[in-house]
C-alpha cells in the first residue's frame, strides 16, 4: 500500500480508501446503493485492513445514520489508532429547520450523533459535505476549529465546494489563525474531468489534497457499459443508485472512453475498473481514491488498481478520449498558456 500526505497536513492516508455508502440501505435511495449489514461489513473491513486500506469514509446522511452505525460495529474492537475514520455533515438530517447546513447548531448536533453511531470519541477527518450559502463562513470555520481544539476532530476537509467557496474558506481561516481545510472530497473520473479546470489548480496552489468519490462514475467505468455490450437493464446505475446524474454524461462520450479502456485491458491484462482507478492515481493533487464495494469480489478487484502504473502513452490515449472542451472562462484562459500555465498532462 502506498500512503500519501493529505494536503498541507501531516496526516498520511492510503491511496485507496473505503467508502461505506453501501452500508445499511435504510431508505429507497440508499437501497439502490447497497444494503450491506454488519457481518458482511466486518468482512469487507478486514479485507481492507489486510491490504493496508485503513481509511474508512462515511456520512451522517448515508441511510439516515445507519451506515455510520454499521461501520461502527464493524470496526468495534479494532485498535483505534490503526484506523482512520472520516465522516461528513451539512445536508438535511431530520425535518426541523435547523437540521441542515453548516451552522454551529447543526455541526455540533451532528458531530455528537456521528461519534455515538460510530462508537468513537473522535473523527480523524470531518468534512462539510457541501457549501452552506446561508451560514457565515466564519461561523462554520470557528466551530470546526473548536472541534479540533476539543479533540473531537483531528483534521477538517470540504466536499463538493466550488473554487471560490474553498478559497474564501481558506482565506478566512488564515485571517483568524484557525485550522484550514486540508482535503477536498470531490467527484472526478475519466468520464467527468471538470475538477481539472479550477479545483485542481487551486489544490496545487493551496496544497489541498483531493479525496475522490465515485471514481468509476457511479459504476459506468466498471466494465458493464460499452459500445460492444447491450446497455444493462439491471444494476446500481439503472436502479437509480448512482450519485452521478445521467445528464452529466452522454453515451457517445462514455463509449469513446470505454473503447480505449477495452484496448488497454487487452494490453495490460487489467480490468476496466482497475485501469480507470490507476489513471486517477497518477493525477496531481490526488491523495486518496474512495472505492466502494457491495461484496468481497468487487473490493478485491478494486484493490488490484495498485502496485502498477499505466505507461505515459496509455495515459495520453485515455486523456485524448476523455477530453472535452472546457466552459468559459477556462477555454479563454487556455488561449494564453504563458499567463495561465496548466499542468503538463494537459498539453
Strands in the chain per DSSP E:
3-5, 12-14, 16-19, 55-57, 84-89, 123-128, 153-159, 181-187, 209-213, 286-291
Q: What is the pLDDT of residue 347?
A: 46
User: Would residue 155 show up in a list of annotated catalytic residues for this protein?
Assistant: no
Choose the catalytic residue: 3, 62, 122, 195.
62
The answer to whether residue 270 scores a pLDDT higher than 60 is yes
- pLDDT band per the 50, 70, 90 thresholds, residue 337: confident
Report pLDDT digits (tens) over 141-191.
999 999 999 999 999 999 999 999 999 999 999 999 999 999 999 999 999
Give the separation between CA 51 and CA 47, rounded to whole angstroms. Answer: 7
The answer to whether residue 345 scores a pLDDT higher than 70 is no
Q: Is 228 helix (H, G, I), strand (E, B) or coil?
A: coil
> How many angstroms separate the first and last alpha carbons of the chain?
30
| Mean pLDDT within 232-243 | 67
Report pLDDT digits (tens) over 122-143.
999 999 999 999 999 999 999 9
The answer to whether residue 220 scores a pLDDT higher than 50 is yes
Q: What is the pLDDT of residue 192?
A: 96
Report pLDDT digits (tens) over 83-121.
999 999 999 998 888 999 999 999 999 999 999 999 999
Amino acid at each position: 500500500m502506498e500512503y500519501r500526505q493529505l494536503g498541507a497536513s501531516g496526516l498520511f492516508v492510503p491511496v485507496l480508501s473505503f467508502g461505506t455508502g453501501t452500508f445499511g440501505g435504510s431508505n429507497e435511495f440508499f437501497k439502490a446503493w447497497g444494503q450491506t449489514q454488519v457481518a458482511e461489513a466486518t468482512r469487507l473491513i478486514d479485507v481492507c485492513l489486510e491490504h493496508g486500506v485503513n481509511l474508512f469514509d462515511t456520512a451522517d446522511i448515508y441511510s439516515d445514520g445507519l451506515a455510520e452505525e454499521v461501520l461502527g460495529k464493524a470496526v468495534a474492537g479494532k485498535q483505534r489508532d490503526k484506523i482512520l475514520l472520516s465522516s461528513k455533515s451539512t445536508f438535511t438530517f431530520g425535518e426541523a429547520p435547523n437540521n441542515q447546513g453548516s451552522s454551529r447548531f447543526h455541526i455540533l448536533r451532528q458531530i455528537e450523533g456521528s461519534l455515538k453511531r460510530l462508537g468513537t470519541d473522535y473523527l480523524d477527518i470531518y468534512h462539510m459535505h457541501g457549501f452552506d450559502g446561508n451560514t457565515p463562513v466564519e461561523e462554520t470555520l470557528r466551530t470546526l476549529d473548536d472541534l479540533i481544539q476539543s479533540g473531537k476532530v483531528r483534521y477538517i476537509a470540504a466536499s463538493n465546494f466550488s473554487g471560490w467557496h474553498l478559497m474564501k474558506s481558506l482565506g478566512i481561516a488564515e485571517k483568524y489563525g484557525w485550522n484550514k481545510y486540508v482535503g477536498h472530497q470531490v467527484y472526478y473520473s475519466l468520464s467527468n474531468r471538470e475538477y481539472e479546470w479550477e479545483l485542481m489548480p487551486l489544490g496545487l496552489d493551496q496544497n489541498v489534497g483531493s479525496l475522490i468519490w465515485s471514481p468509476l462514475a457511479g459504476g459506468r467505468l466498471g466494465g458493464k457499459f460499452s459500445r460492444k455490450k447491450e446497455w444493462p437493464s439491471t444494476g446500481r446505475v439503472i436502479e437509480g443508485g448512482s450519485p452521478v446524474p445521467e445528464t452529466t454524461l452522454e453515451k457517445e462520450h462514455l463509449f469513446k472512453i470505454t473503447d480505449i479502456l477495452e484496448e488497454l485491458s487487452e494490453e495490460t491484462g487489467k480490468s476496466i475498473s482497475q485501469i480507470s482507478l490507476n489513471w486517477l492515481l497518477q493525477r496531481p493533487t490526488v491523495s486518496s481514491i474512495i472505492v466502494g464495494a457491495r461484496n468481497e469480489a468487487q473490493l478485491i478487484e478494486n484493490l488490484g488498481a495498485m502496485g502498477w502504473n499505466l505507461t505515459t502513452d496509455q495515459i495520453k490515449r485515455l486523456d485524448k478520449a476523455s477530453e472535452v472542451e472546457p466552459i468559459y472562462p477556462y477555454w479563454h484562459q487556455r488561449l494564453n498558456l504563458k499567463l495561465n500555465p496548466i499542468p503538463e498532462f494537459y498539453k
